[in-house]
Structure 1
Amino acid sequence: MTTSTVSDRIFRSVNPADRTDTVAEVPLGAADALLDVFRTAKQAHEAWAATPAPVRGRVIAAFGRLVEANAESLAGLVTREVGKPLHESRGEVQEIVDTCDFFAGEGRRLYGQTVPSEMPDKQLFTFRVPVGVVVTITAGNFPVAVPSWYLVPALLCGNTVVWKPAEYAAACADALLSLARAAGVPAGVLEVVHADGPTTFEALSRGLEESLVDKVGFTGSSEVGARIGELCGRHLQSPCLELGGKNPMIVAADADLDLAVQGALFSGYGTAGQRCTSLGTAIVHESVHGEFVSRLGQAVEEAVVGDPRADVLYGPLISEVFAERFEEYLTWIGPHHRVSGSTGRGRISSSNPRKGFVGDPEPGHFYHPVVVDGVRPDDRLFLEETFGPIVGITTYGTLDEAIDLANLPGYGLSSSVYTNDPATAFGVRRGLRAGMLSVNNSTSGAEAHLPFGGNGRSGNGSRQSGIWVLDQFTRWQAVNWDYSGGLQRAQIDTAQIDADPGFRLT
């Protein structure tokens, strides 16, 4: 069950492909209710941390198996609640399974080190210890996969977790919690709270002040992430921040253009462009620019859009909020831009139709895909994240120029380069500030055993997934054990080497 105080404020989560379909109604808790959950998690922490790590690993393994057994139902719920095409929802659920498979084994590792001492009869050790209570706040574009990147390793490491999902993904969160409960995660060790943004921020501030919260994990916008980072910094905490991106794709002169277009189509318009790793700007060499624009424009025009239960490139935008923001992004298109193709612009409807649309667009948040050529370095379309099905294109002459353009917006999450030249690939790797680079692949895509995260406006350098995330959910503890029977003072009593200071080579 979801832990939340009954409230007269009810949030209604609706199907973005059919706004007449109510997926869930959840009460939004007040700040005091969230604090009560923080206290419950604090009380549950000692027993969970004392549970042997291999046992916690078996719980994580059971969780993965239950998700796998219920994969089709969970994927269907993801599609219904956030509008993600069913094939993407299935991939998202598989990401949870992969994450559990990886971290179940970490329950038998969580390695420390034995370190040699400079003193006799003395041993030095290091241990990983859990941080305590983790508060995780996630977005709804990946309503189950991205939360698992926090929940699974945090629980495996012996922490208790309070998860605040996006309100518009409430049903997905409750479903994932029920699977975790069935896998053996005790009440109090993992709790879900539903609340709006201001309430969550108030509760988080008070929870940090009262030492109820030991770690914050946040996935969302750079603006909100900056506020959370500032709040945590005042309490000498370092949050795990996974924020937005303006992810570049460099298309070199020798690139396989068909492959580059496939990558741009998937990363620019998959999930309706609502990924933190979505393609922002294609930076194309001037010698192939015209051909790339032509091919991408044709691919976008021919792409199938519509009912996410069908075989479509993308479905609706997640909610009315994202639809309104996307309409604002469309106003950034200026007279010096060239909009490629004839697919239309704005909301898809009977009066603004899209050829080949699948289903009925009227009850949903469906929008035409947009390709904007002629983007300049001082354009908002170039500098700012645009969460939706819109991709900008600009040109470059030299590789140094391409790298400068890729770094200019100040984000640093994901990137890609299409080339068959190793010197170009490694030159881009050295020059880009992004935390992730794909060579001849799209800007989107992650694997459970590879570090995920960004720099600059995309995050504070923290990483999720793989062994690297363990540093987010554990602290290093150093232990020295002196069994000499006397006081040995390091550095002071260290044995000195008897060298001959007058020795000279002849």
Structure 2
Amino acid sequence: MEFLQKLHIDNDNNGVSTGLEWPAANGEKLFSYSPVDGKLIAAARGADKANYEAVVAKAKDAFAKWRLWPAPKRGEIVRQIGEALRHHKEDLGKLVSYEMGKSLQEGYGEVQEMIDICDFAVGLSRQLHGLTMHSERPAHRMYEQYHPLGIVGIISAFNFPVAVWSWNSMLAWICGNVTIWKPSEKTPLCGVACQKIVAEIFAKNNVPEGVSNLVIGGRDVGEWMSNDVNVPLVSATGSTRMGKAVGAAVGARLGKSILELGGNNAIIISKDADLDMSLVGAVFGAVGTAGQRCTSTRRLIIHKDVYNAFTDKLKNAYKQLRIGNPLDELNHVGPLIDKDAVTMYLNAIDKCKAEGGNFIVEGGQMNGDGFESGCYVKPCIAEVKNEYSIVQHETFAPILYVMKYDSIDEAISMQNGVPQGLSSAIMTLNLREAEAFLSHAGSDCGIANVNIGTSGAEIGGAFGGEKETGGGRESGSDAWKAYMRRQTNTINYSTQLPLAQGIKFEF
């Protein structure tokens, strides 16, 4: 395919890079099959432990030089990366869509998100601020400043194979850090493509080799990174199970981690909601990326007075969904990432029925012409109770659970009554309900929206969640502080050495 050629993706790719250098990888070869048509796209050779250690050594050397570049100059490099991504937006968006399976519009949107974070990081490179404080001691000045950490390890998931890497990398780089990226073994070619784009910009600007590093591989690469004292910060996106393992390993060595894990996101549909507008947010949230977003809408908590009217709208909307090749922009829903994901989807349906769930829109696997990959499924809707064990669990697939509520307090309690705490929303024109949802006693999630859905966060705000979602924050606001170490400084410009708290020490 032409977009692969433009991104310099070969049939057999090296999966270890420190920039323009691509040392011979000696690990297991990963084969990337498209969920769109089941065809082999290309292979990528993964790293062994020696490859990983060589990359770490290169990264440490690069950090000693890169941290000395002025932050605005580092920002200029990121600005150029943003321009390169604009140039490659169409081709990279197609690769994301073809390798991962999300719709082409979502593939383009993911690359646009990369461009947006570049723009954000460029401005931020001139605003890495600290604080000044008044000292209790005369002729003393106190202030805080932030310093880069060193190597930032990035473990990304298949569902956003390029955007989440960019959230971390662009901020890490303007802060003066270097990065080592382990992309998902399910989408390795997206990692190769991004590394090649960045390496070209870095080489043009004489950026030290080893600022941007790629290490493709399986679970073992993530374990090496998590246990490596040379990597002070590991940012990991994925399942709660994976995040607990990463967090435990990093915590055992007193390192830092940013964990972006599972979600079980709900929209409350009030009796005072604009139902037509609510329908758009609910359907896109539930079926966008075939339900494979951490912010996908899993649950609809609907007021009893509008329950029948709104579920009728849902059923009618689901009849109009077009399922098929995501490179066809007329289709709404593409495939799941692989056949294992299909099995989990089918198992979840069975479990839901066993617990008493009533499917008002039936699911199932798609077969026949155009569905040869075996990865296409039908978005479905089930009437359930919030306490069902399957409802408490995040299934990464287009299964939407609907349930009734009576009072706003009951709805908020149901919204909060799951182990995860990423994204949440309420659809209402009632000011009191909206404010209650956003209050201290309201949503317990990291993201809480009014009159928009759970899915589709802007890069300007900090992204992340609470509880089993991990508690980390990425992207906008002051998330940059997680990529730096904070230091308090006191300067004495007097001729005396007074001690704090009035302590006397004389001899």
- Pick from 178, 197, 216: which aligns with 1:194? 216
1:81 corresponds to: 99
- Partners of 1:35 and 1:225 lie apart in 2 by 23
RMSD in angstroms over aligned alpha carbons?
A: 1.6
Matching of residue 337 in structure 1 with residue 357 in structure 2: yes
Matching of residue 489 in structure 1 with residue 507 in structure 2: no
Residue aligned with 1:47, SS: helix
Matching of residue 456 in structure 1 with residue 478 in structure 2: no
- Partners of 1:113 and 1:248 lie apart in 2 by 38
8 Å contact from structure 2 (residues 167, 474) kept in 1:
yes
8 Å contact from structure 1 (residues 130, 159) kept in 2:
yes
Q: TM (normalized to structure 1)?
A: 0.91
- Partners of 1:175 and 1:271 lie apart in 2 by 21
Identify which range, 422-431 or 327-336, moves more after superposition. Answer: 327-336
Write the mapping of 1:431-446 to structure 2, written as runs, cut at 5 A: 431-446=442-457
1:30 corresponds to: 48
Matching of residue 396 in structure 1 with residue 405 in structure 2: yes
- Pick from 309, 315, 325: which aligns with 2:334? 315
CA offset at residue 71 of structure 1?
0.7
Q: Structure 1 residues 206 and 429, CA, compared in 2 at 3 Å: closer, same or farther?
A: closer
- Partners of 1:5 and 1:219 lie apart in 2 by 27
8 Å contact from structure 1 (residues 31, 202) kept in 2:
no
One-letter identity of the residue aligned with 1:248: A
CA offset at residue 254 of structure 1?
1.1
CA offset at residue 17 of structure 1?
0.7
- Partners of 1:330 and 1:138 lie apart in 2 by 28
- Partners of 2:265 and 2:173 lie apart in 1 by 31
8 Å contact from structure 1 (residues 305, 312) kept in 2:
yes
One-letter identity of the residue aligned with 2:266: P
- Pick from 432, 454, 458: which aligns with 1:423? 432
Q: Over alpha carbons, which structure has the higher Rg?
A: 1
CA offset at residue 191 of structure 1?
0.5
CA offset at residue 493 of structure 1?
6.2
8 Å contact from structure 1 (residues 268, 278) kept in 2:
yes
Write the mapping of 1:285-296 to structure 2, written as runs, cut at 5 A: 285-296=303-314
Deviations for 1:180-220, whole angstroms, at most 9, x for unmatched residues?
112225421110111111x124312541xxx2111000000
CA offset at residue 114 of structure 1?
2.5
Q: TM (normalized to structure 2)?
A: 0.91
CA offset at residue 466 of structure 1?
1.4
Identify which range, 389-398 or 106-115, moves more after superposition. Answer: 106-115
1:324 corresponds to: 343
- Partners of 1:417 and 1:132 lie apart in 2 by 41
- Pick from 43, 46, 49: which aligns with 2:61? 43
CA offset at residue 125 of structure 1?
2.0
Matching of residue 413 in structure 1 with residue 422 in structure 2: yes
Residue aligned with 1:491, SS: helix
Deviations for 1:401-442, whole angstroms, at most 9, x for unmatched residues?
111111111211001100000110111112110010111111
Q: Structure 1 residues 322 and 31, CA, compared in 2 at 3 Å: closer, same or farther?
A: farther
- Pick from 179, 183, 187: which aligns with 1:169? 187
Matching of residue 18 in structure 1 with residue 28 in structure 2: no
Q: Structure 1 residues 465 and 376, CA, compared in 2 at 3 Å: closer, same or farther?
A: same
Q: Which runs of 5+ in 1 are unaligned?
A: 351-358, 495-506
Residue aligned with 1:70, SS: helix
Identify which range, 42-51 or 485-494, moves more after superposition. Answer: 485-494
Q: Structure 1 residues 414 and 8, CA, compared in 2 at 3 Å: closer, same or farther?
A: closer
- Pick from 182, 187, 204: which aligns with 2:225? 204
Q: Structure 1 residues 229 and 80, CA, compared in 2 at 3 Å: closer, same or farther?
A: same
- Partners of 1:468 and 1:231 lie apart in 2 by 26
2:7 corresponds to: none
Identity of aligned residues (%): 34
8 Å contact from structure 2 (residues 148, 483) kept in 1:
yes
- Partners of 1:110 and 1:27 lie apart in 2 by 38
- Partners of 1:360 and 1:178 lie apart in 2 by 32
Q: Structure 1 residues 340 and 186, CA, compared in 2 at 3 Å: closer, same or farther?
A: farther
2:11 corresponds to: none
1:362 corresponds to: 372
Deviations for 1:300-339, whole angstroms, at most 9, x for unmatched residues?
1211111101121110111233222222212222163221
- Partners of 1:337 and 1:262 lie apart in 2 by 24
Residue aligned with 1:371, SS: strand
- Partners of 1:155 and 1:139 lie apart in 2 by 20
- Pick from 54, 67, 71: which aligns with 2:72? 54
8 Å contact from structure 2 (residues 147, 486) kept in 1:
yes
- Partners of 2:339 and 2:320 lie apart in 1 by 26
CA offset at residue 249 of structure 1?
0.7
Q: Which runs of 5+ in 2 are unaligned?
A: 1-13, 18-22
8 Å contact from structure 2 (residues 38, 373) kept in 1:
yes
2:9 corresponds to: none
1:356 corresponds to: none
CA offset at residue 364 of structure 1?
4.5
- Partners of 1:192 and 1:68 lie apart in 2 by 22
One-letter identity of the residue aligned with 1:317: L
2:8 corresponds to: none
Identify which range, 485-494 or 187-196, moves more after superposition. Answer: 485-494
One-letter identity of the residue aligned with 1:463: R
- Partners of 2:246 and 2:223 lie apart in 1 by 11
Residue aligned with 1:395, SS: strand
Q: Structure 1 residues 205 and 443, CA, compared in 2 at 3 Å: closer, same or farther?
A: closer
- Partners of 2:331 and 2:398 lie apart in 1 by 14
One-letter identity of the residue aligned with 2:419: G
Write the mapping of 1:257-276 to structure 2, written as runs, cut at 5 A: 257-276=275-294
One-letter identity of the residue aligned with 1:156: I
One-letter identity of the residue aligned with 2:430: D
- Partners of 1:266 and 1:205 lie apart in 2 by 35
8 Å contact from structure 1 (residues 450, 466) kept in 2:
yes
Q: Structure 1 residues 61 and 8, CA, compared in 2 at 3 Å: closer, same or farther?
A: closer
8 Å contact from structure 2 (residues 28, 217) kept in 1:
no
8 Å contact from structure 1 (residues 129, 477) kept in 2:
yes
